[in-house]
C-alpha cells in the first residue's frame, strides 16, 4: 500500500472516532444486553470479532451483558449420544435426558468458549447460568414441552456486583424451578427478561437476518410497538421473526428503552448500531 493511501486510511479512522464521540457520551454507563447466537457463533473469526467489540464497548463505559444460545451445538451432541428429540408445534420437548445434554453444552462448551474469547481480547468475562445465585426462577412454559421454562423472577444483584468489578457477565439461558428443577429457556426470552430486570438501555438481538422487513421486503430501520403489533396482525411479520418481536415488546413493556433486531453475521454489527449515525437492523421503541 502506498504511503498516501495509508495516510488516507488513518485519517478516515480518526474521523470515525471523532464522529463517534456523541454516541460514546450517550452510552457512557449504559447497560446493554446482547443476545448472541445463530451463525454469528459459528466461526472462530466471528467469535473473535464479537469478543473484541464487547471488550471495546466496556472500555468506553458500557456495561455489556451477554446471553447466548447454542441450539446447533445441542443438536450435534444429542445426535452423537443418540438421544431422540420430539417436537411440539416446532418446539423441542426437553425431558430429563435432553436437559442433561442442554445444560452440559450451554453451561460448559458454549459458555466457556465465549468467556475465553472475551478474555483473550483483554476483557474480564465471567460465565454463569440463570441457576447461579438464583438469577432466574422459572415456571413451566408448557407441560407438553417438559423442562422448558418461562422466567418469572429475575434477581440481577449478582450482575450489578460484576459490573462494579469491571467484569462482563456471560449467561447461559437456564433457570431453576420452584421445586429445584432445571429449566431450559429460549435464549431470546432469557435475554429479554434480564434486560427488563436491569432496565437496560438497549437489548440487541443478534440474528441471521437484516432486521424486520415490511410488506415489500425492505428492512424497516425504526418501528414503534404499535407498528410491530399491526404488522404481526396483518401477517407482514411472520414465522421465526414473531418470537423475536414478541421478546422485544415484552422487554419494552418491562422498561427497556429500545430493542434492536440486527444481523449478527455482519462484521462489527454491535458497534455500528451503538456508535454510528447509520445504526444497524431494526430499532423498536415504545409508542
Q: Which residues are annotated as a binding site for substrate?
A: 70-71, 92, 184
Intra-chain end-to-end CA distance of the chain, in Å: 50
CB 123 within 8 A of CB 57: no
Which H, E and C letters describe the chain, residue by residue? CCHHHHHHHHHHHHHHHHHCHHHHHHCCCCEEEEEECHHHHCCHHHHHHHHHHHHHHHHCCCEEEEEECCHHHHHHHHHHCCCCCCEECCEECECHHHHHHHHHHHHHHHHHHHHHHHHHCCCCEEEEECCHHHCEEEEECCHHHECEEEEEEECCHHHHHHHHCCCEEEEECEEEECCCCEEECCHHHHHHHHHHHCCCCEEEEEECCCCCECCCCCECCEEEHHHHHHHHHCCCCCCCHHHHHHHHHHHHHCCCCEEEEEECCCCCHHHHHHHCCCCCCEEEECC
All three cell numbers of 255, joined, read: 422498561
Binding region: 70-71, 92, 184
All three cell numbers of 201, joined, read: 438501555
How many Å separate Cα 99 from the centre of its chain? Answer: 21
Amino acid at each position: 500500500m502506498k504511503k498516501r493511501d495509508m495516510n488516507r486510511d488513518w485519517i478516515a479512522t480518526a474521523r470515525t472516532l471523532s464522529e463517534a464521540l456523541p454516541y460514546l457520551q450517550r452510552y457512557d454507563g449504559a447497560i446493554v444486553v446482547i443476545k448472541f447466537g445463530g451463525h454469528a457463533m459459528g466461526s472462530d473469526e466471528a467469535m473473535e470479532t464479537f469478543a473484541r467489540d464487547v471488550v471495546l464497548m466496556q472500555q468506553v463505559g458500557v456495561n455489556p451483558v451477554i446471553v447466548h444460545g447454542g441450539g446447533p451445538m445441542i443438536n450435534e451432541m444429542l445426535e452423537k449420544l443418540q438421544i431422540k428429540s420430539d417436537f411440539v408445534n416446532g418446539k423441542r420437548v426437553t425431558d430429563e435426558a435432553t436437559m442433561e445434554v442442554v445444560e452440559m453444552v450451554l453451561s460448559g462448551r458454549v459458555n466457556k468458549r465465549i468467556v475465553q474469547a472475551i478474555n483473550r481480547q483483554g476483557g474480564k468475562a465471567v460465565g454463569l447460568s440463570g441457576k447461579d445465585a438464583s438469577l432466574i426462577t422459572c415456571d413451566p412454559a408448557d407441560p407438553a414441552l417438559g423442562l422448558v421454562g418461562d422466567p418469572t423472577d429475575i434477581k440481577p444483584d449478582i450482575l450489578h456486583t460484576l459490573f462494579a468489578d469491571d467484569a462482563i457477565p456471560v449467561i447461559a439461558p437456564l433457570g431453576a424451578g420452584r421445586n429445584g428443577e432445571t429449566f431450559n429457556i429460549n435464549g431470546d426470552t432469557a435475554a429479554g427478561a434480564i434486560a427488563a430486570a436491569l432496565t437496560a438501555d438497549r437489548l440487541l438481538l443478534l440474528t441471521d437476518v437484516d432486521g424486520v422487513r415490511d410488506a415489500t421486503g425492505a428492512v424497516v430501520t425504526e418501528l414503534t410497538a404499535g407498528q410491530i403489533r399491526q404488522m404481526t396482525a396483518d401477517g407482514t411479520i411472520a414465522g421465526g421473526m414473531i418470537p423475536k418481536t414478541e421478546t422485544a415488546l415484552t422487554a419494552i413493556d418491562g422498561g427497556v428503552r429500545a430493542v434492536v433486531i440486527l444481523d449478527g453475521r455482519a462484521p462489527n454489527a454491535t458497534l455500528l448500531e451503538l456508535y454510528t449515525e447509520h445504526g444497524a437492523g431494526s430499532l423498536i421503541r415504545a409508542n
